[in-house]
Amino acid sequence: MKMKSVYIETYGCQMNVADTEVVFSILGAAGYGRTEDITKADVIMANTCSIRDNAEQRIWGRLEQFNIQRKSRKGVLVGILGCMAERLKDALLDSGKVDIVAGPDSYRRLPELISAAAEGTPQMDVILSREETYAEISPVRTDKNGVSAFISIMRGCNNVCSYCVVPFTRGSERSRSLSTIVREACECAAQGYKEITLLGQNVDSYSFEGQDFADLLGKVAETVPSVRIRFSTSNPQDISGKVLDTMASHPNICHHIHLPVQSGSDRILEKMRRRYTRQAYLDKVRAIREKMPDCAISTDVIAGFCSETVEEHEMTLSLFREVGFDAAYMFYYSERSGTLAARKYPDDVPLEEKTRRLEEIIALQNSLSLESNRRDVGRRFTVLVEGPSKRDEADLCGRNPQNKMCVWKDSSHKAGDFVEVEVTDCTQATLLCRLVE
Ligand code: SAH
Ligand code: SF4
Ligand code: F3S
């Protein structure tokens, strides 16, 4: 019999990328091959995100496309995995467009769910677990360049940020065993990966048998000294001096911290149930820069949260100026039903005003990114080659430790090489460099 093949589209955060790789591994062991051609797939799946309404709308749109395949080829099954499966549950099955609904903690059951669905009855498993970390599963890596790998170090989230759906879709926080993480890092190195990103919604609350995140980070960095180590996400209230010391003392840990601020106003931060103030955030930024003057800091921000005034929005702008972020992911508030904010606070900033505030933040960040890049002109960096640049095949591109995209002329290196470059010019998005011989 022909081997069945599975096609998966991945949406949302890096955790979902890592989860898709776990799913490929579980399905591979059950005899399913992987295909990147949807028209050849026996099982078509989307690993989904619920973080904002437009993320979900996109998936509903994709489901229409999936159903063209499902209707035109006999036996094709459509599955929804991930956060939207967990949040919408029956609503997905009731749409009649989906055969399998599997939440983030039920991937081990996928072979069983697919077989049962093939008998004609739609299947759903959205039970969340307190223990599941897929610890011993070796993911099937999907990075096209074979250079960069994600390793999940924990799952779920125990914070209760009032706007956020993640605790509902991913369940409570649990840490994966340190030894299986270290073993996976060794596997990555043996397979030729040159960069590992340790993933969790709140990496600083990693805790396993008395070992904290700094212990884990140091251990991974020491075990694979020729591999570059990154991590995400750090929460401003939890990132510790010990983590900063570990970063500063290990040359292969990249000097980049993603430190989502969400708002520059204390009143809004409190309503968001973030557990820091504007001042505490600024103090963290100062501590980071004191220890590592070359450390890049990026952030996430939400414009137009419930009851945010123009003055409070301006406090976000002034915080951005004060910190001078190197990069930012910027969103306007999207109400998620079931969250504390949806239950307690009216979503009362009109869409037009949310968009205006968001655009103001984006315009400011664009100028801050340009300023940050200009400061790098004349500096030298070690860059990990990702491959040819999109704009010009004669150029290579890759990131420096600060996670900035670099582009330079080069015909002598390939993906996975570390090269020395000097920045000669920049745009807001890219450092234009020359190779240092
Ligand atoms: N665990 C990470 C964030 C994960 S979600 C942390 O705590 O920082 C990624 C980002 O999406 C968040 O930082 C936030 O900026 C944004 N986000 C989350 N919920 C949102 C919502 N309801 N509306 C708009 N943006 C949201
Ligand atoms: Fe959501 Fe807050 Fe958890 Fe991040 S820390 S995933 S924003 S609840
Ligand atoms: Fe989205 Fe779930 Fe990640 S909601 S951001 S895919 S944890």
Residue 261 phi, psi dihedral angles, 5° rounding: -100, -35
Q: State the pLDDT at residue 391.
A: 87
What ligand 1 atom has the least distance to the C-alpha of 262? 15
Q: Yes or no: say if 258 and 233 are a contact pair by the CB < 8 Å rule.
A: yes
| 104 Cα: distance to centroid of ligand 3 (angstroms) | 10
Compute CA distances 247 → 219, 223, 230, whole Å. Answer: 12, 15, 10
Q: State the pLDDT at residue 1.
A: 61
Q: What is d(CA 185, CA 223) in angstroms, rounded to the nearest whole number?
A: 8
Ligand 1 pocket check for 262: Cβ under 6 Å: yes
List strands edge to edge, sheet with 228-232. Answer: 148-152, 195-199, 228-232
Q: Which stretches of 163-295 are assigned E, i.e. beta strand?
A: 174-175, 195-199, 207-208, 211-212, 228-232, 256-258
What ligand 1 atom has the least distance to the C-alpha of 341? 22
List strands edge to edge, sheet with 100-102. Answer: 33-34, 5-10, 43-48, 77-82, 100-102, 123-125
Fold (topology level) of 5-125? Rossmann fold (3.40.50)
Q: Which two tokens stand for residue 29?
A: 């062991």
- Could you read off the pLDDT of 196-231 as tens digits, one per residue? 999 999 999 999 999 999 999 999 999 999 999 999
Nearest-10 Cα torsion for 390, 396, 397, 401: 180
Q: State the pLDDT at residue 58.
A: 96
Rg of the chain's alpha carbons, rounded to an integer? 22
Q: Which residue has the tokens 């690993």?
A: 47
Ligand 2 pocket check for 430: Cβ under 6 Å: no
Q: Yes or no: say if 338 and 168 are a contact pair by the CB < 8 Å rule.
A: yes
Ligand 3 pocket check for 51: Cβ under 6 Å: yes
- Could you read off the pLDDT of 109-138 as tens digits, one per residue? 999 999 999 999 999 999 999 999 999 999
* Options 2.60.120.1440, 2.60.120.380, 3.90.260.10, 2.40.50.140; CATH of 380-435: 2.40.50.140
Q: Which stretches of 265-322 are assigned E, i.e. beta strand?
A: 296-303
Q: Is 258 helix (H, G, I), strand (E, B) or coil?
A: strand
Q: Which stretches of 50-169 are assigned E, i.e. beta strand?
A: 77-82, 100-102, 123-125, 148-152, 154-155
When pLDDT is averaged across residues 272-279 and rounded to a whole number, the result is: 98
| 260 Cα: distance to centroid of ligand 3 (angstroms) | 15
- Tell how strand 5-10 and strand 43-48 pair up: parallel
DSSP one-letter code for 262: B
| 164 Cα: distance to centroid of ligand 2 (angstroms) | 6
Q: What is d(CA 57, CA 133) in angstroms, rounded to the nearest whole number?
A: 29
The residue whose CA is least distant from atom 3 of ligand 1 is 201
Q: Is residue 372 pLDDT above 90, yes or no?
A: yes
| 382 Cα: distance to centroid of ligand 1 (angstroms) | 31
Residue 434 CB partners (closer than 8 Å, separation 6+):
408, 409, 421, 422, 424
CATH 3.30.830.10 fits 256-375, yes or no: no
Q: What is d(CA 289, CA 392) in angstroms, rounded to the nearest whole number?
A: 35
Ligand 3 pocket check for 200: Cβ under 6 Å: no
User: Residue 304: left if φ>0, alpha if ψ -120 to 50, beta else—which one?
Assistant: left
| 44 Cα: distance to centroid of ligand 3 (angstroms) | 20
| 356 Cα: distance to centroid of ligand 3 (angstroms) | 25
- Could you read off the pLDDT of 151-209 as tens digits, one per residue? 999 999 999 999 999 999 999 999 999 999 999 999 999 999 999 999 999 999 999 99
Ligand 3 pocket check for 297: Cβ under 6 Å: no
Q: What is d(CA 62, CA 285) in angstroms, rounded to the nearest whole number?
A: 40
What ligand 2 atom has the least distance to the C-alpha of 274? 2
The residue whose CA is least distant from atom 11 of ligand 1 is 51
Give the pLDDT band (50/70/90) at residue 393.
Answer: confident
Q: Which two tokens stand for residue 138?
A: 């070796």
Give the pLDDT band (50/70/90) at residue 437.
Answer: confident
| 302 Cα: distance to centroid of ligand 2 (angstroms) | 13
Residue 58 CB partners (closer than 8 Å, separation 6+):
11
Q: Is residue 402 pLDDT above 80, yes or no?
A: yes
Residue 56 CA: which ligand is closest? 3
When pLDDT is averaged across residues 410-427 and rounded to a whole number, the result is: 97
- Residues 17, 18, 19: CA angle, nearest 5 degrees: 90
Domain ranges of the chain: 5-125, 143-254, 256-375, 380-435
Out of 10, 11, 16, mutate this one to test ligand 3's pocket (max ligand atoms within 8 Å of CB): namely 16
- Could you read off the pLDDT of 223-266 as tens digits, one per residue? 999 999 999 999 999 999 999 999 999 999 999 999 999 999 99
Q: Is residue 3 pLDDT above 90, yes or no?
A: no
Q: Which stretches of 223-359 are assigned E, i.e. beta strand?
A: 228-232, 256-258, 296-303, 327-332
Closest CA to 246 of 283, 288, 207: 288
Fold identical between 5-125 and 143-254? no
Compute CA distances 214 → 206, 236, 242, 321, 343, whole Å. Answer: 9, 15, 6, 30, 37
Q: What is d(CA 204, CA 234) in angstroms, rounded to the nearest whole number?
A: 6
Q: CATH for 143-254?
A: 3.30.750.210
Q: What is d(CA 20, CA 212) in angstroms, rounded to the nearest whole number?
A: 26
